[in-house]
A and B are shown apart, each in its own frame.
Chain A
Amino acid sequence: MANDMSTFVSFIKKECTHIFRDVRTMLIVLLMPVVLMMLFGFAISTEINNINVAAVVDRYTPEVRHDLTALEQNPYITMRGVIRENEVDGCLRSGDCAAVVMFDAQGRRNIVLDASNSSLSASAGSYVQSILNRGQQMPLPVTTYMRHNPQLKSAYNFVPGVIGLIFILICAMMTCVSVVREKETGTMEVLLVSPIKPFYIVLAKMVPYFIVSMINLATILILSDLVLDMPISGNLPTLLTLCTLYIILSLVLGLFVSTMAQSQMVALLICAMVMMIPMIMLSGMMFPVENLPPVLKQLTYIVPARWFNDAIRKVMVEGLGLTAIWKEFLILAVMAVGLFATSIMKFNDRLE
């Protein structure tokens, strides 16, 4: 047993040497997630905060002038100037403006919207309407309170989503070549004749990548806290446990692909290209899962990022503990164990 242990340790050493001596890849792997995180954290917001509007004016009355000033002063609207009536279609078609307000001689206002983006046009329509209404609203006594996210930052939804997306893809891309590369370069046979059990071989392959991923996790969490103003301190131990489990699952997913694939090329294609779309679109990062049609909702059950997203939002933004996310945690753990067991079995198959 002691002998087994020392072989295992030397295997880990071998794998680490393999991976850490490729300085260039290491640099890429360590820098890339951080840069992506910062870019997306700052750049992307699902809020609509800039609508290009043009106006067609038939006759300048004080009212029309007042409305034009109101539109110009609104921070959410960029006025693209006054255009002629025959330019309206061209302006909307080329995308120079998303809405045109047409003031006619009778004092009527017609808002023409580019509804090709139905989500943007709905907001644009109601923004412009409320400005033209001079902010008059129902005098209903209502107090509103946005719990957990009073400033309505879309980052609170987005940053956890991006963390989930980046980790699963990068971790899977790291481990997905591990087994299949040995096969391609012919070193697999050497492994086959070694006395060590496949369980340890596979485990040893994951250790260096696990170390790299944990460094990534640390940088990303620290930066989310310091730079992106994401609350991570709410429940740090739970957050770390959850992320560690998710990283292990992601590494195992890559390993699973690696044991199934015939070549490095196929393994990388699956991890980078095929998995990217479901991870973005079915994880609830962009499109809320509860809106999906039932069949697609069931499809999201097999997407690990979906469970991670649900859980990390509760932990990061709401500061809840492990008891609140036990279901998601359990599902992720079962996925990890299941994939690991299948990978080992596949690896064993190859030994025979």
Chain B
Amino acid sequence: MKSVLPILIRKELTQFRRNKVLPRLLIMMPLMLVLIMPLVTQMDVKNVSVVVIDKDRSSLSMRMESHLTHSDYFRMDESAADYDEAVRLLDQGHVDIIVSIPQHFERDMQSGHAKPILLVANAVNATKGAQGMQYAMQTIASAVQELATERGLSTFDLEQSGLSTNRLITVQNRYNPTSNYRHFMLPALMIILLLLVCCFLPLLNIMTEKEHGTIEQINVTPVGRLEFMLAKLIPYWLMALVLLAFAMLLAWAVYGLVPAGHSALIFLGAFLFALCMSGFAVSIANISNTMQQAIFVMFFFVMQFMLMSGLFTPVDSMPVWAQALTYLFPPRYIIHIMRAVYLKGALLSDLWFDFTMLAVLATAFNILATITYKKQN
């Protein structure tokens, strides 16, 4: 018997081409994710707004202020007459950090009884607050140090500062020597593309057939379960791989980022991942009654995939139970594979665990999809 598979696939491709929105969407998505979104991903805190309340008016406090002004991290375009006004500005969100230098700070510092400088940060955004605070402390410390060096170290009691006893420590950055966070995010953004395409498109395709009742017409034909499902999914697997190649070309053309390792590993991983996610999508389509219901369920999982797979925040920072849960998330493995191959040139031997888990999950999800599919409804 001649296989009907090629005919069914041709039917799917024709339907896809005829759709007014889908093909355009598939060109727009990689452009949005690879061209625009990397510009958004910046973790380093900049433009921290600082206001200084200087009651000391000494050469030391002036020096601190000038160091803060000249730092790339800070801007000093707000001013406050007193502490209360500064706090008001901070609460309104105009100011992020208040530096309040008490009266006679420099004089008291020399005698060793100085009242401390007060640093207040708006910590609603914990990362920004903590980092801004750290920068401010470093900047102030460097001002003190500079003045101390000019006047001879004994002016301020700096002997026990880490500087004199500092043991030789060198730091070496590997794999991303320019420390470009965008290079870290780009491979992961490509995975978002695959995730969205492989989760939502097959799901909506099958649910459309279900809602229009055309799936029943297929059910009464002698087309087997497997052939039917393959015909539905093969176009999406191809689409995923083509989109990935397109995204990789864009990343090379625009950001000059090329994989340090073998592209073959990336495509192998991406293919396994596409298998996983499409199997998952079919399972959800099988158990849902309406298109909206199916999308809600898929949305529920995609949100978890996006936020808990190490895409934006490290998996290692999550509590143990949440980390355990992520072993079931295919994106966790492919994101790791993508980043390791792209930036570190990792080999198959480094990533065997991730590939094995992807293969296991792909098998599991596709078995699930076959079990839940009933031809007669």
Residues on A lying within 8 angstroms of B by beta carbon are 22, 24-25, 28-29, 32, 35-36, 39-40, 42-52, 90, 92-95, 107-122, 125, 129, 132-133, 136-150, 152-154, 156-157, 166, 169-170, 173-174, 177, 184, 262-266, 268-269, 272-274, 276-277, 280-282, 286-288, 290-293, 296, 310, 313-314, 317-318, 320, 324
A115-B302 CB under 8 A given contacts A42-B322, A120-B314, A288-B125:
no
17 A-B pairs (CB sep. < 8 Å): A22-B290, A35-B300, A51-B316, A110-B170, A117-B314, A140-B144, A141-B115, A141-B116, A146-B129, A147-B90, A152-B123, A156-B126, A177-B291, A177-B292, A266-B22, A277-B196, A296-B39
Cα separation A317 to B304 with both chains bound (whole Å): 25
Cα separation A50 to B124 with both chains bound (whole Å): 22
Residues B21 and A133 in contact, CB atoms below 8 Å apart: no
Q: Which residue of A lies closest to B197 (CB)?
A: A273
* B residues near A125, Cβ cutoff 8 Å: 171, 173
Residues B124 and A265 in contact, CB atoms below 8 Å apart: no
Residues B204 and A265 in contact, CB atoms below 8 Å apart: yes
B53 to chain A, nearest CB (A): 14
Cα separation A109 to B25 with both chains bound (whole Å): 52
Residues A46 and B126 in contact, CB atoms below 8 Å apart: yes
Which of B3-11, B153-161, B238-246, B271-279 binds A? B153-161
* A residues near B303, Cβ cutoff 8 Å: 36, 166, 276
Residues B161 and A137 in contact, CB atoms below 8 Å apart: yes
Selected from A35, A143, A166, A277, the residue in CB contact (under 8 A) with B37 is: A277
A119-B116 CB under 8 A given contacts A39-B322, A43-B308:
no
Cα separation A243 to B33 with both chains bound (whole Å): 29
Which of B216-224, B225-233, B345-353, B366-374 binds A? B345-353
Selected from A90, A132, A146, A157, the residue in CB contact (under 8 A) with B167 is: A132
Cα separation A290 to B46 with both chains bound (whole Å): 8
Residues A25 and B171 in contact, CB atoms below 8 Å apart: no
Cα separation A125 to B196 with both chains bound (whole Å): 35
B2 to chain A, nearest CB (A): 32
Residues B171 and A317 in contact, CB atoms below 8 Å apart: no
* B residues near A50, Cβ cutoff 8 Å: 314, 316-317
Residues A136 and B161 in contact, CB atoms below 8 Å apart: yes
Cα separation A262 to B42 with both chains bound (whole Å): 37
* B residues near A274, Cβ cutoff 8 Å: 25, 29
Q: Chain B 197-211, CB within 8 Å of chain A: the 1/0 string?
A: 000100010011001
Residues A147 and B184 in contact, CB atoms below 8 Å apart: no
A24-B293 CB under 8 A given contacts A119-B43, A146-B121:
yes
Whether B145 is near chain A, meaning CB under 8 Å from some CB there, is yes
A173 to chain B, nearest CB (A): 6
Residues A111 and B176 in contact, CB atoms below 8 Å apart: no
Cα separation A154 to B313 with both chains bound (whole Å): 11
Residues A140 and B322 in contact, CB atoms below 8 Å apart: no
Cα separation A40 to B70 with both chains bound (whole Å): 39
Whether B360 is near chain A, meaning CB under 8 Å from some CB there, is no
* A residues near B40, Cβ cutoff 8 Å: 281-282, 287, 292, 296
Selected from B123, B297, B304, the residue in CB contact (under 8 A) with A147 is: B123
Question: Which residues of B266-312 have CB atoms within 8 Å of chain A's CB atoms?
Answer: 289-293, 295-300, 302-304, 306-308, 312
* B residues near A313, Cβ cutoff 8 Å: 124-125
Q: Chain B 133-151, CB within 8 Å of chain A: the 1/0 string?
A: 1000100110011000000
* A residues near B176, Cβ cutoff 8 Å: 115-118, 121
Residues on B lying within 8 angstroms of A by beta carbon are 20-22, 25, 29, 32-33, 36-37, 39-47, 87, 90-93, 109, 114-130, 133, 137, 140-141, 144-145, 157-158, 160-162, 165-177, 179-181, 183-184, 192, 196, 200, 204, 207-208, 211, 289-293, 295-300, 302-304, 306-308, 312-314, 316-319, 322, 325, 336, 339-340, 343-347, 350-351
* A residues near B170, Cβ cutoff 8 Å: 108-111
* B residues near A293, Cβ cutoff 8 Å: 39
* B residues near A143, Cβ cutoff 8 Å: 116-119
Residues A157 and B175 in contact, CB atoms below 8 Å apart: no
B56 to chain A, nearest CB (A): 13
Residues B118 and A280 in contact, CB atoms below 8 Å apart: no
Selected from A25, A116, A132, A273, the residue in CB contact (under 8 A) with B175 is: A116
Cα separation A149 to B312 with both chains bound (whole Å): 22
Supply 20 further A-B pairs (C-beta < 8 A) apart from A113-B172, A142-B116, A157-B124: A44-B307, A46-B126, A93-B345, A109-B169, A117-B176, A118-B184, A139-B157, A142-B137, A144-B137, A146-B129, A146-B133, A147-B122, A149-B126, A157-B127, A268-B292, A272-B200, A272-B295, A273-B200, A287-B41, A314-B93
Selected from A263, A272, A287, the residue in CB contact (under 8 A) with B299 is: A272
Q: Which residue of A lies closest to B344 (CB)?
A: A93
Selected from B126, B157, B351, the residue in CB contact (under 8 A) with A153 is: B126
A268-B289 CB under 8 A given contacts A44-B308, A290-B47:
no
* A residues near B180, Cβ cutoff 8 Å: 118
* A residues near B322, Cβ cutoff 8 Å: 39, 42-43
Cα separation A39 to B301 with both chains bound (whole Å): 12
In the A-B complex, the 6 residue pairs with the closest CB atoms:
A43-B322, A136-B162, A115-B173, A149-B123, A119-B43, A118-B179
Q: Which residue of B lies closest to A123 (CB)?
A: B131
Selected from B122, B162, B171, B297, the residue in CB contact (under 8 A) with A137 is: B162
Q: Which residue of B lies closest to A130 (CB)?
A: B162
A39-B126 CB under 8 A given contacts A143-B116, A296-B36:
no
Selected from B140, B145, B169, B184, the residue in CB contact (under 8 A) with A129 is: B169
A136-B160 CB under 8 A given contacts A115-B177, A121-B179, A290-B47:
yes
A321 to chain B, nearest CB (A): 11
Q: Of A109, A143, A281, which is in contact with the most chain B CB atoms at under 10 Å from its CB?
A: A281
